[in-house]
Amino acid sequence: MAYEFRLPDLGEGIAEGELIKWLVKEGDKVDEHQPIVELETDKAVVQVPSPKSGTVLKLNGSPGDKIRVGDVLCVIGESGEKIAKVSAPVQKAPAKKTSTTVIGQLEEAPEEEEKKVVPITPKKVAEAVVAVLPAVRKLAQEMGVDISKVQGSGTGGRITEDDVRRGAGKTVKETKAPSVTFEQFGRVLRIPLKGIRKAIAENMSRSLSTAAHVTHMDYADVTKLADFREKEKEEAEKKGVHLTFLPFIVKACVLGLKEFPFVNSSLDDEKQEIVIRQYYNIGIAVDTQAGLMVPVVHNANEKTIIEIARDIWRTAELARTREIQLKDLQGGTFTITNIGSLGGVWATPVINWPECAILALGKISEQPVVIDGKVVIRKILPMSLSFDHRIIDGAMAAKFVSEIKRHLEDPDALLMGY
C-alpha cells in the first residue's frame, strides 16, 4: 500500500520549511534513510531522509513552496501502484509584476509610481564604484575565481560571497530580490524578512521581552595565555588546527559554569522552575551572510583544547556555507560571541534565550597596567556578560566572570582544570 510521507517534527519548535530542491524524482527507487529533499528552516538548510525503501510515486511541492509539519512531502510505494490524490502544500503567493535588472528580479512599484523608477542599467553599474569586501576578495582567491569576471547580484551590483561561489561552480540557494518602492523623500528597497533573519528578529524580541537583561563588564590579563598559545600554534598546525584564543575561553567558561551552576541554567516560566543543566554545550555565535547562527560545541567539558578548536572551526565553516545540520545548532547551555574579531571592545549582547547568560569577548590589545608599582604593557581581553537577573544576581555574575578571568590569567590552572 502506498505510504504518504508527511514532514516530521524537526525539533526546536520548527513548524515549517521552504522547499529548496528535490534530491530524487518521481519513479526513482529510494532506500530507507536516503535524503530525498532539502528544506530551509529558520535555523538551517536540512536534508530530510526517506522513512522507508520503495519507489517515489509522487512528489508534492516545488522549490519555493512552504511545507508545514504534517504536510505530505511525497508518496512512496511499489512501482506502478495507483495513489489517491494528495493535497498540495501551501503554495507560493501570487506572482507580482516584476522587471529584470542587473541585480535580479525586482517587484515594480504601483502604476502611479512607475514613472519615477530610474532603471539600473549595466552602464550605470559600470560607472558606479562597486565595493568588494576583503572577505569576498579572499574567498575568490581561495576558490581561484577571477573577481573581475564575476557579475555582482548585490545592491548596486555589489559582489557577494554567493556570487563568488557561483563563479566557482558551487550551488547557491537563491533568495527573493528586494522590491523597489518610493516614499516621500526618495527611493527605497524593501527586503523580505524571512528565514534565519526572521528567526533572529523573533528570538531577540522574545529574549528582551522575557529575560531581565543586565550586563557585567571586566577584563582579563591574557599575556601568559598569549605566550602559551604562540608556543603551541605550530604543533597545532601539524594537527590541522588553527589555534585561536577561543578554545581556551570555552574551557575557562566550562570551569566557571561548574563552579556557578546557576549560570548554566534556564527559567521554565510555565512550571516556575529554574532548570540547571549538568552538561556543558557551548554555543559560538557565527556571523554568516544569512544572519547570526550559533553552532554548539557539545560536551565541551569532555574535550581537549585541540578538539574544541576543531569543533569550532568545523561548525563555523558549515554555518557559513549553509551546510550545517540541526544537531549542530541544538542543545546549547551558554553562548559566547566574539565581537573582538570585528574590532569591538565592550558590548551588551542579547541573551540567547532561554539560556541564562551570554559572554561577549572584546578585542585583545596591549595596554599599560600597574603591577607592583610599575607600569608594564600587558595583553588585555575585555569581557561583557549579559545575564538574566531573574535567575542570578549581580554578585554571582561578577564571581562567575572573575572565575573565568582567573583561569585565563593562569594557563597552567586552566589546562589542569582547577
Per DSSP, the three-state class of 129 is: coil
Question: Which of the following is catalytic: 33, 242, 389, 407?
Answer: 389
Q: H-type helices in 216-348, by residue range?
A: 223-238, 246-259, 305-320
Quote the strand ranges of 98-195, DSSP E: 98-101, 104-107, 179-183, 186-190
Taking each helix axis as running N to C, give the angle between helix 394-409 and helix 223-238, from 0 to 180 degrees, rounded to the nearest 10: 60
Whole-Å CA distances, 137 to 164, 166, 289, 341: 9, 14, 15, 18
Tell me, rounded to whole angstroms, the distance of Cα 278 from its chain centroid: 25
- Strand 357-361, strand 334-338: pairing: parallel
* β strands within 41-185, DSSP E: 45-49, 54-59, 66-68, 72-77, 98-101, 104-107, 179-183
- Burial pattern 103-119, b for ≥16 Cβ within 10 A else e, equals beebbbbeeeeeeeeee
Give CA–CA dist 310/243, Å, rounded: 9
Question: What is the grid cell recorded at 184?
Answer: 516621500
SS3 content of the chain, % helix, strand, coil (to 5): 30, 30, 40
Q: Are 350 and 208 in contact (CB under 8 A)?
A: yes
Contact 341, 291 (CB under 8 A): no
**What span, in angstroms and rounded, lies between the C-alpha atoms of 382 and 166?**
39
Listed in sequence order, the residues at least 6 apart from 257 whose beta carbon sits closer than 8 Å to its beta carbon are 263, 264, 280, 333, 334, 400
The DSSP bridge partners found for residue 227 are none
33 is catalytic: no
- 3-state class (DSSP) for residue 187: strand
CA distance 73 to 39: 11
**Pick from 204, 218, 205: which is nearest to 360 by CA?**
218
Are the beta carbons of 397 and 359 closer than 8 angstroms? no
Catalytic residues: 389
